[in-house]
Amino acid sequence: MEQYKNVFIFDHPLIKHKISILRDKNTGMKEFRELIEEITTIMTYESMRDVELVPVEVETPLEVTTQYRIAEDSIAIVPILRAGLGMVNGVHKVFPTAKVGHIGMYRDEETLEPHEYYCKLPEGIESKMVFLIDPMLATGGSACDALNALKKRGCKKIKLMSVIAAPEGIKAVAEAHPDVPVYVSTLDRGLNEHGYILPGLGDAGDRLYGTK
């Protein structure tokens, strides 16, 4: 999706390897969950490349030196329930002190329209760098609504991370929220008549938690 300057598609051999296992219908729940976390961790390293640093004085065994750290309490993770929960640990492996909020969205199976049913965010969310996470970016409806919910609550610095995306979802988010960087590990072909990504990997929430 080269026409969108705020969209970043990963092209990493390690991610491709893990995605191929993730897609396999025979991959079990435990391995599926571990793969989602591992892919998220790889993505987090790259998506945090421009996170703001602050200078700190550090005393080494030999001398005092000025070093740089991510400001304390400046990062928040907000998964879109429920599948987004599967990505939280992947971000926490990189930045374990990040606060976690939750946005609950469900999709009308007939209209495919998203509806918010829950929102609980860390205090001071408006001043944090927020990582909105959801494994699947399909129609883009849930992501757009979640971004609207965050902006409504004062968030100004938001990044969206998804493992698999359809062109329709990227188009919807990139055009509705051109100020939000979108990080995707893999771009798939498109959507079927039910709004599922093809070739995709099925329902990420069901495969993460063993439900149908």
Each residue's pLDDT tens digit, 43-58: 999 899 888 899 999 9
Q: Which of 65, 97, 111, 211 is catalytic?
A: 111
- The verdict on whether 107 is a catalytic residue reads yes
Q: Report the alpha-carbon distance of residue 108 to residue 7 in Å, rounded.
A: 27
Indicate if the pLDDT at residue 121 is higher than 80: yes
- The verdict on whether 111 is a catalytic residue reads yes
Please give the share of the chain, as a percent, with pLDDT higher than 70: 98
- Domain 7-209: which topology? Rossmann fold (3.40.50)
The strand ranges marked E within the chain are 7-9, 53-59, 64-70, 75-81, 99-100, 102-107, 114-120, 129-133, 136-137, 157-165, 182-187, 190-191, 197-198
- The verdict on whether 206 is a catalytic residue reads yes
Q: Report the alpha-carbon distance of residue 30 to residue 42 in Å, rounded.
A: 19
> Hey, what are 160's tokens?
């969206």
* Cβ-contact 161, 194 below 8 angstroms: no
Q: Report the alpha-carbon distance of residue 56 to residue 35 in Å, rounded.
A: 35
Q: Which of 23, 27, 41, 203 is catalytic?
A: 203
Q: Report the alpha-carbon distance of residue 49 to residue 190 in Å, rounded.
A: 29
Q: Report the alpha-carbon distance of residue 126 to residue 114 in Å, rounded.
A: 23
pLDDT the model gives residue 1: 58
Quote the distance between the C-alpha of residue 32 and its chain's center. 16
- The verdict on whether 203 is a catalytic residue reads yes
Indicate if the pLDDT at residue 195 is higher than 90: no
> Taking Cα atoms as reference points, which of 135, 157, 183 lies closest to residue 75?
157
> Taking Cα atoms as reference points, which of 103, 122, 125 lies closest to residue 114?
103
CA 118-122-126 angle, to 5 degrees, is 100
pLDDT the model gives residue 180: 97
Q: Which of 27, 33, 73, 206 is catalytic?
A: 206
Domain map of the chain by residue range? 7-209
Predicted TM-score (pTM) of the model is 0.91
Q: State the pLDDT confidence band at 108, using cuts at 50, 70 and 90.
A: confident
Q: Report the alpha-carbon distance of residue 95 to residue 182 in Å, rounded.
A: 19
For 154, residues 6+ apart whose C-beta sits below 8 A from its C-beta are: 125, 126
